[in-house]
A and B are shown apart, each in its own frame.
Chain A
Amino acid sequence: MTYWDPRIETIPMTDLKKKQYKLLKSLVYRLYSFSPFYHDRMKEQNVHPDDIRDISDVRKLPFMFKRDLRDNYPDKLFTASQEELVRYHVSSGTTGKPTVVGYTQNDIDGWSTSLARGLTSIGLGRGDIIQVSYGYGLFTGGLGLHYGAERIGATVLPTSVGNTERQIELMQDLKATAIACTPSYLLHIGEVAEKMGISIKNDTCLKAGILGAEPWTESMRTRIEDWLGIKAFDIYGTSELSGPMFTECAEQQGFHIWSDLALVEIIDPKTEEPLEPGEKGEVTVTMLQKEALPMIRYRIGDISSMEEEVCACGRTHPRIQRIQGRVDDMLIIRGINVFPSQIEHTLMTIPEVGQHFQIVVERKGALDDMLVRVELNKESFSDKINDLMQVRRNVEHRLRNALNVNAEVELVEPGSLPRFEGKSKKVIDKRSM
């Protein structure tokens, strides 16, 4: 077992909590003194830095939300002056106005360190060639993975997104051993490669994928691993935390949250009470060492659960499970909560249909109507209309069982649903248009 920093990664839990407490205490003092925004928030909540006497006292602190960053656009929340900043990133703004994140040199170092631990934990290091096919630029994915990969001494192939044929040629010619990109882009690469007569499994040196920036599922992992002959690892983060920050280790049992860098709570999004390990709730993060843009109890809006048992890899830092959905992506269909990830998960278990799908929600009269468009797999095409109707009925039946709500299914031609090179937009909700 190789660690990037064994001393911190395998630190006993009690020592880790002590360390967290010290970091939290000094963070809160710093913000109370130097951040007008957070000072006011704490006053409103009637909490003083002296009230923080234990790590569990984090619960006394006020939350931060995405809207706080938007309301304070572009840099009013920064606690470092512009001279101290070495970089900006700007979020894609898929859910509203863009937000700006600034980084000091220490912030970049902390981010790269987090990724260095993660990439090492999946077995990458010096000698590996990591193709970074996340977008480079304002988006955090490209540069984030780039710095993390350089930190562990790997060779970076900074292809960014797009020009897929060329990406595949370079992957072959330069013998890339790992690729970092969105799972949907990797599927796209796999499809384009097949059209070019190249099998990622047999004709390249690729052994690992570091996949994130959009939700995906366990069954999608199985499909990617079987089809492309690689190990697929999930990576988690948002620009507010710095960018992609936390990866799974070789055990593939959730993201290790480096607790000297981040304190994660899982809370009930409605009652705002903390939940027990294993219970599903909203991921809430306090960044313990960030300088330019500190985040305290930041409500990311992702749904997950926490696992505190020491991992089989020996790392003591807790893990959060694969993201189950978004608090605000949750669709309410006829009063029932539906996550697109549930639909994806169900479709992945039906061999007759492909991995791409699109959900269209409409209101017909007083009722919500959900249509799920799925691609019919080449192998399951039957000349008989009855067989095709049977496939459709089966998909409808499985979706109804999984979601507890009726969904109409439409079979479409393979390759006809839109592929996205960035974040997938799999839901068209016409009720809000």
Chain B
Amino acid sequence: MDTQKFVIKQISIFSENRPGRLAAIAHALGEEKINILAFSIAEANGFGVVRALVDHPEKAHDKLQSLGFNIAFTEVIAVKMKDKPGGLYEVAKILGDAGINIEYSYAYSGKEGAVLILRVDHVEDAIKKIKNSGAVLLEKSGFHG
């Protein structure tokens, strides 16, 4: 199975926890006409990590790096959910039953339904298990323009 087509490039940005940092990131991406498909902020005492799926990750990386941001790529996968009550449960149960450990996760409800984005420790293994369990994984081509 070609697992690589399901590996999605997320950008992760180190940010101090002070007003205006998210605006600075979002403004830079807007200027480059980069669309943010999904994002989340993880917060610790004094700093945070902004994680985002964008249509042009390389361009976003170069732009933010040129502005001095500490930015890295992280591999994530995206699982399709039903956009109705119980949708998350169905997917979460599959993951739990398959023994997949989630490092972090966030979700969005878009044009083509609800999507759960997952960061797992063993990506290839997780992709195989999720496929075998019958859940639908989204391909990276659906995200990156």
Contacts and interface: CB of A to CB of B under 8 A. Distances in A.
Interface in B36-55: 42, 44, 46-47, 49, 51
A70 B51 CA distance: 56
Interface residues of A, number: 16
Contacts of A415: 68
Contact of B70 (A384, A385, A410, A414): A414
A411 B68 CA distance: 15
Nearest to A415: B68
- Where chain B touches its partner, the secondary structure class is strand
Interface stretch (A289-297, A342-350, A375-383): A375-383
B14 A413 contact: yes
A389 B49 CA distance: 12
Contacts, number: 44
Contacts of A382: 72
B119 interface: yes
B103 interface: yes
A271 interface: no
Given A381-B14, A383-B51, A383-B119, A414 B68 contact: yes
Q: Which of B12, B44, B46 has the most chain A CB within a 10 Å cutoff?
A: B46
Interface in B57-94: 68-72, 74
Nearest to A371: B46
A412 interface: yes
Contacts of A376: 14, 70
Given A383-B51, A383-B119, A411 B46 contact: yes
Interface of B: 10, 12, 14-16, 42, 44, 46-47, 49, 51, 68-72, 74, 103, 119
Given A383-B51, A414-B68, 7 more contacts: A382-B72, A383-B12, A383-B49, A383-B119, A411-B46, A411-B47, A413-B69
Interface of A: 376, 378, 381-385, 388-389, 410-416
7 contacts: A376-B14, A381-B14, A383-B49, A388-B14, A412-B16, A412-B47, A413-B15
Nearest 9 interchain pairs by C-beta: A383-B12, A415-B68, A383-B74, A381-B70, A385-B44, A410-B46, A381-B14, A385-B42, A411-B47
